[in-house]
Amino acid sequence: MSFPARGLYAITQTENKSGNIIIDEVIAAIRGGALLVQYRDKNPLDALLLARELVKVCHRFNVPLIINDDIELAAMSGADGVHIGKEDGAIAQARMLLGDDAIIGVSCYDFVERAIIAEEQGATYVAFGRFFPSSSKPLAAPARIETLQQAKRLLNIPIVAIGGILPENGASLLAAGADLLAVIGGLFDSEPEQSARAYQALFSDTGT
């Protein structure tokens, strides 16, 4: 399944939620316009079971499902790819396990140089952030708008922005060069379908 060129990137909010609630929220976000979903769970109990169910749900809507951090879980669950950070394994390892068509995203924080290397090694997309205060990643180092601007000039793969993004501040990131906005709390702290529509309006406003 192909990676979207632009749009809303939903990342699951799993803390203190049952699998059924997570699935219902993902469906609502997709109905609101999310074009990509990442299963992120820092304290999983039945990760494989839930990941497989999320793959089924997302594929029903023709939306790719990405696994956060865990290359082996992505392979076992039949997910469309994996998102890896600086300690989550190499792009080459992910390609070997998941195949040439897998979506592989790489966290680049505030480092364009890391993104350039990731592109050279075959990453599908790169992600920068956090750009605003974030309840999901409160200790994450901040990223600068200038990083997006520089990355847009130097990279040929899609750029994802993450971290405290709301409908009220997302437009500035799109204007700076972000192609996708990755959101957790802004989507799932309230009604996901309505929240997703508010983010989708940002892409309409920028002519997408």
Out of 40, 134, 136, 195, pick the active-site residue: 40
- Higher-pLDDT residue of 136 and 82 is 82
Q: Which two tokens stand for residue 66?
A: 């990405």
SS3 182: strand
Out of 77, 107, 136, 195, pick the active-site residue: 107
Question: Is 136 within 8 Å of 42 (Cβ atoms)?
Answer: no
Alpha helices in the chain (DSSP H): 19-32, 47-60, 71-77, 91-98, 112-120, 145-154, 170-176, 185-188, 192-205
Write down the pTM of the prediction: 0.94
Closest Cα to residue 108, out of 99, 119, 97, 92? 119
Give residue-wise pLDDT tens across range 51-81: 999 999 999 999 999 999 999 999 999 999 9
Domains, the chain, with CATH or none: 7-205 (3.20.20.70)
Q: Which two tokens stand for residue 156?
A: 């040929």
Active site residue 152: no
Binned at pLDDT 50, 70 and 90, residue 135 comes out as confident
- Residues 32 and 22: their CA atoms lie apart, in Å, by 15
Active site residue 40: yes
Out of 6, 17, 137, 152, pick the active-site residue: 137
Whole-number pLDDT of residue 206: 55
Q: Which two tokens stand for residue 168?
A: 């009220």
Active site residue 114: no
